Amino acid sequence: MTGTIVDITVPAAQFALEYTLGEFEGVAFEVEQVAATNHDSLMPFMRIETTHRIQLQEAFAADDSVADFERIAAFETECLYKLDWADRIDHLIRMLVDQNATIQTATGHTDCWDIRLLFDDRETAASTYEYCKEQGIDFEVVNIQEFSDRGGTRFGLTESQRTALQLAAERGYYTVPREVTADDLSEEFGISHQALSERLRRAHGNLIQHVLGSRTEKTEPADAPPIESRSETTVD
């Protein structure tokens, strides 16, 4: 399986929960169990880390992007809600899905949404980008990366990178103070010190890129089609 992952940032004013996010600045609203192929209910569950539940429900009630809401569960420091979106929000979400985009993650905070989309290929991602521009959706492309279950594993790591990280952690390479040196690890792997160092460095870069959404090297501006030109390869 291959695909193209695109991380975007969308202003809350053009998407959802603008009022609620403004009332809860600094609080993350994380979509749970995104059902990107279920046309009866898209992005229905929201996890919010707050203990101010009365104020939260008042904000939902005043938010014109929310048609209805129901609290599903309450925990010590967070809660889970099911949201029914207003028609215009539902239309925006369905527009993405109808363009063959799978919504993998979506998190709202303060005044914007960070959304990760998975496409079959770069061409589909590019056509979706152009379609959204035509529909007046103004989003910023933060990161683009290729996905393949042939050349990489979770978080963009190759198998050799994942193995190197796992062994380094198990041997105490990342503890303070270190319990093993890079020379010890390279000897155990049967490779040179330099080769191990480069493998770990690439693995660290892939983790940062995937987990933190680093804007370095792979950032592409939103005012140009983001997907067409660059080819990427996976290395050890």
Residue pLDDT, tens place only, 202-216: 888 777 766 665 444
Write down which residue in 116, 147, 178 finishes a domain: 147
Q: What is the pTM of this model?
A: 0.63
Helices (H), 63-150: 87-98, 122-134
Nearest 5°: the CA angle 143, 144, 148 is 135
Number of structural domains (the chain) is 2
Give the model's confidence band at 223: pLDDT under 50 very low, under 70 low, under 90 confident, else very high.
very low
Please, what is the average pLDDT of the chain?
79
Mean pLDDT: which of 11-15, 36-40, 228-232 is highest?
Answer: 11-15
Give the model's confidence band at 16: pLDDT under 50 very low, under 70 low, under 90 confident, else very high.
very high
**Together in a domain, 88 and 181:** no
Give the Cα separation of 211 and 5 in Å (integer). 13
Which amino acid, 47?
R
Closest CA to 120 of 12, 227, 13, 10: 227
Query: 28: which 2 tokens?
Result: 């993350």
Range of the domain at 97: 2-147
Give the residue-averaged pLDDT of 13-32. 91
**Together in a domain, 78 and 36:** yes
